[in-house]
Amino acid sequence: MKMNQTAQSWWFIFYKDQLLLEKKEDGIYAIPCEESSPIVIKEKTTVHNITTLEGRNCKTFSLSSPIEESEQWIMTGLRASYEYLPLSHYQTAGKAHEILHWDRNSRFCSACGTPMEQKESIMKRCPKCGREVYPSISTAILVLVRKKDSLLLVHARNFKGTFNSLVAGFLETGETLEECVAREVKEETGLEVKNITYFGNQPWPYPSGLMVGFIADYAGGEINLQDEELSSGDFYTRDNLPELPRKLSLARKMIDWWIEHPNE
């Protein structure tokens, strides 16, 4: 793709999951927007053109070492960048992070071991056997289980924090999303659910997921937690909620919806 060399681009520059932000006036942090990269691009670094945003190209690349905080720059975790950036910029940062993750993990052909060649922004091809690879996405479900005026919240051992959230789990090959919902609730809590309905979805670039949210009603069973994955789980009423996940997650959006819709 031929790029307009004089146009400004948004630069999504990462060191691992740390994103480079430019300090602006009034304490605002922003994605740098310049004609060429504000940070020197080392040899053998691939710069990916990922998409456009507000009419400008978006480019991303990885650093081999972090940028020290200065009057101009700060690096922040991708999750934390949600607090500083407009939503569309946070989402594009997530896409950039997924592309970089894919690039790092698809250097060799998984069939014959030959170094892969990048052919398009989201496609590599093996020059020996012709195998093509695209960024893969892991699909996971989230389910808000209702029981009268309460909802089911759990604390999974892999949560980064003390908050409680919805039952979640990865889709397995050969199952529908609804089957996955019923299976995950049963496996993790011992409960049966019914009336499984779609709520919404959200890209989840940690490192490359898609979360698909469902609402379901309790249908039977006693809570019997899967100890390996969950450290707690129970039904909570609106006036007795524990610490909830942060605002950036679909889980929190679903819980907030439930709080605001007591009669649905």
Nearer to Zn ion, 126 or 248 (CB): 126
Residues 4-43 that bind Zn ion (CB under 5 A): none
Kindly state the smallest distance separating residue 118's Cβ from Zn ion, in Å: 14
Query: Which residues, 49 to 108, sit near Zn ion by CB under 5 A?
Result: none
* Of 16 and 128, CB closest to Zn ion: 128
Q: How many CB atoms lie within 10 A of CB 241?
A: 14
Least Å distance, CB 46 to Zn ion, is: 19
Helices H / strands E in the chain, number of each: 4, 16
Nearer to Zn ion, 28 or 123 (CB): 123
Question: What does the alpha-carbon distance between residue 218 and residue 139 come to, in Å, rounded to a whole number?
Answer: 24
CB-based contact 31:12 (threshold 8 Å): yes
Do the Cβ atoms of 127 and 108 come closer than 8 Å?
A: no
Q: Which is nearer to Zn ion, 135 or 203 (CB)?
A: 135
# residues near Zn ion by CB under 5 A: 8
Specify whether the CB–CB gap between 54 and 136 falls below 8 A.
no
Q: Strand 192-204 vs strand 209-220: parallel, antiparallel, or unpaired?
A: antiparallel
Q: Which residues contact 156 (CB under 8 A, 6 or more apart)?
A: 165, 168, 229, 230, 231
- Encoded one letter per residue, x for contact with Zn ion by CB under 5 A and - for no contact, window 101-140 reads --------x-xx-x-----------x-xx-x---------
Q: How far is the CB of 47 from Zn ion (least distance, A)?
A: 25
Query: Which residue lies nearer to Zn ion by CB, 28 or 129?
Result: 129
User: Which residues are at the interface with Zn ion (CB under 5 A)?
Assistant: 109, 111-112, 114, 126, 128-129, 131
